[in-house]
Structure formats: C-alpha cells, structure tokens
Structure 1
Amino acid sequence: MPQHSPHELPEGDPFGADALPYGVFTTPGAPDHPRIGVRYGAYVLDAATATAERGSAYADLLDQPVLNPLMAAGRPVWQAVRAEIRGMLDDGTLPGGHAHPLDEVTLHLPFEVADYVDFYASEHHATNAGRIFRPNGQALPPNWKHLPIGYHGRAGTVVVSGTDVVRPQGQRKAPDEELPSFGPSRRLDIEAEVGFVVGTPAPARTPVPLDAFRDHVFGVCLVNDWSARDIQSWEYVPLGPFLGKSFATSVSAWITPLEAFDAARVAPPARDFPLLPYLDDSSAPEPGGIDIRLEVRINGEVVSRPPFSAMYWTAAQQLAHMTVNGASLRTGDFYASGTVSGPESDQLGCLLEITAGKGPFLADGDEVVITAWAPGRGGARIGLGEVAGRVLPAGGR
C-alpha cells in the first residue's frame, strides 16, 4: 500500500481540510498524556502540541484529556481554533513532527458525557417498528408527527468505537411463553444513528430556540445504539426503553464540527401537520436537514445504506423540544437521532427492520461497523469517524 505524507492526502480522502474532526488520543511514548488531536487523512495531528509551539491563545484548551473545555468555550472560539488549524495546514507548519499515523495511536472517548437522550426521528423506522411491535394497532402513535419523541438514556454506558459489547442479560418473554424467563438476549440488534454533542450550556428555564442550534451544538458523530429487542419488547410498556438499551451505546472517536456540514444542509421531508411555533422551521434561515449517508457492515458485508436526509425531525427541533420545558443544557450533553432508515429495503438502519422482526439477529463474535460521509464543497466528501463494536458472549470480558 502506498504511503502518503501528511501534507499530501490521497485524492478523494474524506478527512481533508474541510472535515477536521476532533478526537482525544495517546501515543505509545506518552500513554498517560491524553490530548486533543485532529484527524487529517490517515494521520492524527497533535493540535495541543502544535498550537502550544506557536504560542496560540487556545493551546490550553487543546491540551486536555477531553473535549469538554473546548466545547464549553463557545462558538466564536470553535471557529477561531478551526481557522487556526486550517491555517497551519495551509502553510505546512502543523503536520511535520506533529502528525502521528492513525494506526499508531490509541483513541479515547472524546468527551465526558453529561446527559444522554435518544430520539425516534425517522418516520420510516418508527412505522416499520410500530408494525412489528403493534401488529394489531396503529404503527405511529398519535403524537409522533407533532413532537420529537425521545427517552433519557444511560450516560455512563456510552463507550468509544472499538469497545467490545457484552451480550446483555435480562427478562424476556416470547409471545408463545406463559411466563418470562431470565437469560442472555436472543435478539441483540443494532441501531445506526447520528449523534449531536452539546458545547455551550444553557441554564434551566431557558429554552433553546431553533435559530440558536449552531450556538449550542459543537459537533456530530456516528452512533450505534445497541438494542436487546426481546428485553425491550417485554419491558417497554407502559413507560419506554430501559434495560434493553442501557447496557451500551457506541459513539465514534471523532466529533466532526457542525460547520463542516454547511454544504450538506437540505430541507427535511414535508410535514403532514402544522407545527407548534417552537418547532416550526418553515421560515428558518437555513434548511434543518443534513445529507449524511450511512453504511452499515456486519462482518464486512454491507447490509444497509440509510440516508439521514430522510429524517422527519431535525436536530434543531430535537434540541428545541428537549429544552422547551425548562430543562437545562450542560456541556457534554449528547443526543442521538434514533435509528436512521429510509423508504427502500436497502436503507433500513436495524436488523429488526431488515428481517421484519424475524431475525437472525446478532451472533456472538459479530462485528458491526458504521461509516458515513456527507457532501462537501466543490464535490468533496466530508467523512465521519466510524463507529465499530464486536459482540462478546454474555458474561464475557
């Protein structure tokens, strides 16, 4: 395989100067010094060291074990840091001794998760899942097209890409069983999602309007919200997902700045009902959707290519709804879109849909990898860091 200088990206590399996602890494020579890096092609640029060498005002924000201090600094600082790093790339001063091959570093969970909320924003997924879980009822509940439905997840089990996932155990009851039993999930599933990481906080009783989305959301990542469908289907009436979801949620090691998706903004699907004012984006200054194209592989085989552009509810609407009751925002709050599914059979974001609920679901040893890209300027592609995980048997380590 040909080797490339960090100054010279292969043609079409989706991790060029328009992407520049942030992560946290360590090197073999400094395993106890996690710091912030920026992905550039197949390299990690040591942003902390490079900016310190230049006497940057932002060096201390980058020499941190998590992204939270940088995220808390606010949008003007995010823009300034990104511009400074791009400037280093333009004048060739950043790569040099500050570039580490990606396969020689260890990547860590890039931010400290505060709260975690998971939404249910794809009409196609919600309809398909509703038909499976409620075959004799309405696929969509009556509130679905009036508000973004979501639930609070477990922040403590959000893990970085590459972390093995142990098959969860719990209560499960098949329709033909009289009583529930306890044991390993027999219907372990994936959910291909897109996540949004909050940077700038908002105090309690201060709802975040649609037009303040860019001021609060630092960046975007890929998510696999692992789901134990048998545990979920038995427990989720009347409240909602609990143990069927809380055992693990995998996120990418790379957080791509929201600004990187400017060329990928698209209009969301047409709404069937007028929206209440705090959710009404019909006169928004920019489209609320984002054209992100996902690909899901299981053991190397492509099983789906879900389109994020098909999501009924946008990330800005989700943030507005999440705070409209007076809930505060904290730096490190993280919310996911819910399963991304499109209208076609090859665009379904989970095995529940792909197999119409019949299975097979994930087996021990299966490896799931979700990748994605978005259109950039001038025909370029903006890459999102992959999210990967392998299933270990129940009780495994």
Structure 2
Amino acid sequence: MREIKPVNNNGSIQLKFSLGGKRYGFNPLPGGHYEDKRDLAIAQAIATKIQNDILSGHFDPTLDRYRLVPKATLNTQPKTLLELWDIWVKTLELPTATEANHYKWVRRMITKASPGITDTDWITKVDIAPRTFKDRLGLIKACCKWGVSKGYLETNPYESIKLPKDKPKEIKPFTQEEIKLILEGFDKLAPHYSPFVRFLMATGVRTSEAIGLLWEHVDFHRSEIIIKESLSKDLTGNGYRRVRKETKTGNIRYLPMSLELQALLIFLRPPKVNPDSLVFTSPQGCIIDADNFRCRQWTKVLKAQGIPYRKPYTTRHTMISHAIDQGIPITGVAYLAGHKDTSMIIKNYGHMINRPSLPSLPI
C-alpha cells in the first residue's frame, strides 16, 4: 500500500488514498494551510493514523474518526460574517471548481462589505441582479443556519431578509441597420473576426459555444450545425484557460444552415479539415479569448460605427428577437436558443410575442 501523504489543494490540505477499489479524499483540518508547518504536521499525523488503522483492520470508512473541528474554532469564536463563512465553507469540502464559482463571489461580496457576524444592513445595499441576490442570500442563510447549529449564533439574522422584486430586463437587440453597420465595421477594422461575428449574429449561440465549435460539428451533407459543447472559462485557473464542457442546459441542438451561413463556413474551411480543429480562432490560431475580443475588437468597432455599446451576448438577443418578429413559433425559437422549454423565451421576450396593435379610432 502506498504511503498516505498530505497534498496541497489550492493552499489547503487534503489526504487522498484508495482502498478496496474506492477512492477517498478529504480535508483533515478545515481551515488549515499547507504552508503552515504545524497544520501540515497535524495532517501527517492523521495520515499515519489512517495508515495504521488500515493495517490493523480498524479503518473507519466514514472518516469521522479522522476529522478535526475547523481550525478557526479551536481558538476563537468567529466575530465577523467572513470568519463564519470561511469556517463553514471549509467544512463543506467542496470540489475546487464549485468553490471557485458562486462561493468565491459571495466571499468577495462579504469581504468588500466587512459586516459583523449579525449585521445585515449591508446586504440590502448590494447592487446586483435580483436572481444573483437570491442565489447569494441563499448561501449566506445556509451558512448562518449552520452557525446557529454550532452555537456561533443564537438566531439566523438573514432569515427575515426579503428578496427584491425581479425587474424585467430591458433587452435592446441590434436592428437590421445596426447589424449591417457592425458587419461592415468588422470587415474594415477587424476582418479576421468578421466570420465569427457573422456566425454569432446568424445563429444566436452562446459565445462559449461558438468559441468551442469544432469542424466535426459542421455537417455540410445535412447542411446543419451541431451545438453540443462549449469552451467555458476554467474558474479554477488564471482566467485565460478554458475547459470543454456540455452546453449550459446540457442539450444538443441541430441548427439548419442558411445558404449565407453555409457559404461562410465553406469559405473558412481549410483544404484538409481536421475534425478536432476549432472553426474560429484568434489570428494566431489560438482559442479566442472572449474578454480580449470584447475589449479590443468589439468595443472598437461599435464605437467607430456610432452604435451604442451592448455586450457581444446581444447577438443572441438579436437572433431571438428577429426570429420572433419574423413569426417563428416560440417553441422553435426556444429550440434554436438551446432552452429546455419556452419559459425563458416568454419571460424575457413575452412583450414581443403576438404584440397587438392599438384599435383604430377616429382621432
């Protein structure tokens, strides 16, 4: 059996080992740091105990025997929400990618406000979207509920916080004239990205889906594009690395190619097609960095063409809005957009569906 040793897990300590075909991995000292010699020595002692228990036949597969209380609770009672949050998150033993997503943003929000452990005024002043507020408040409530169970709090101060009203988003898709100006601008100022922008406008796919499109997903015989994957940001990385994932909703959809879109892709297709190659790349042949594209190319073109700034994601709103305007049934629009049902289309674009005319009156 291999010796069990503590490993560095983004600064924290983790023990990983296999036994009887089952893999185990856990943080023996929540709140401990790999760079702290004392914490590392404690973790190594726990690792040795596990190894001895395995050899003697006394191993506890639940791992409860080997877990310590969070480090922060050994010496002090948490006095701030941030201290309570850090203790709670460590006990969850979250996958790295999960902790780097919503939990990271909540921690940033708490750090910026620096509230006391029972102070709630700060959260009512946070300027974020209602949906985001709901998600983050839910995590803070769960944290404080845990705090009550551990005796850190008498009651959950966030239980009575009310959610803000969900104001409908004002969607401003590009008009036909704006689309024409944008494409002309890219032809002149950033011609390499012109096919990429044309594809976004024509299909309404998510930016990460277009960035991750492979030639094997373009079927010229059936005249359709298969949207089944995306190249999304690696939240655990440095912001530039991307990872291949399924689409946001997990759906696979088949988009029929118009003659214009087919001609565009035929123009881009190399003489010898590698099915695993990206359709759209940077001028250097690398993965397109969405933030770099937005800052250096997209913003420049819109400004030069005199178009009020909207994010590149507006190309998605544009396709959906024009599809509704042209009478495509909402079930079809939802499919093209990659939604599981029509609820999101109705919620965000309902004001455009079957819009009535004012009655004719003798004015």
| TM bin (shorter chain) | under 0.3
How high is the TM-score relative to the length of structure 2?
A: 0.26
Higher share in helix: 2
Question: Which structure: larger Rg?
Answer: 2
How high is the TM-score relative to the length of structure 1?
A: 0.25
Higher share in strand: 1
